[in-house]
Structure 1
Amino acid sequence: MQSNEPEVTVPMKLKKTKKLIVIVIMALALAACAAPISNGPLVATNDGDQPTSSAGACPTAAPGTALLENAAQGYCLHYPEEFDVTKFDDGSVGIMVGSLMNGVDPWVTIDVSDSGAADAASAAGAIIADLPGFEIERGSITVDGEPAVVLYSLPGQELNRRVLFTHEGRLYKLTFVPDEPAYGELFARMESLYTTVLESFHFVPVVEGAELAAPGVEVPAAAKSVRHQLARLIQVPAQEIAVTAVEEMAWSDGCMGAALPDETCNKEEITGYAVTLSGPTGDYVYHTDLSGMRSRLVDAPVPVVGDLLVEWQGLDFIGACRTAIFGTEAAAFGECGGPQWTLPYHALARQAEALALVESFAPFAGAETLVGTVSLHGAGAVEATPAEQRAVAQWAQLAEAQARSGQISAAVGTVLAWHQEGGADGECREIVVTVTGEAFGNLCFPDAAPSLLARFRLNAADLEQLYAWYDTYLSVNVQTEADTASGSPATLLSFAGNGSQEASTETITAMQAFGVALWEQVVAMQN
Structure 2
Amino acid sequence: MKPRLLPLGMLIFAVLACSLPFQPTPMTPTPYGGGSIQPPAAAVQAQTDLAAILGVTPGDILIRDIQPKVWSNSCLDAPIAEETCAQQQIDGYQVILAYGEEIYTYHTDLTGIQIRRIQQVLNPSQAALEARALLAGMLGYDPEIIRITDEENLRFQDSCLEISTPETVCSQVQVRGTRIELEVDGVPFEFRSAEDPIEPVLAIAAGVDAGQLVIMISRDGGINQYCDNLNITLAGKAIQYACAGVSGEVPGIMDLSVQDQAQLLKWVLKFSPFDTRQTRLDNVAIHLTFYGAGQEIAQFADQQAIQKFAEDRFRLPQATPTPLPTGGPEG
Task: Name the larger-Rg structure.
Answer: 2
* TM-score, reference length from structure 2: 0.39
TM-score (norm 1): 0.26
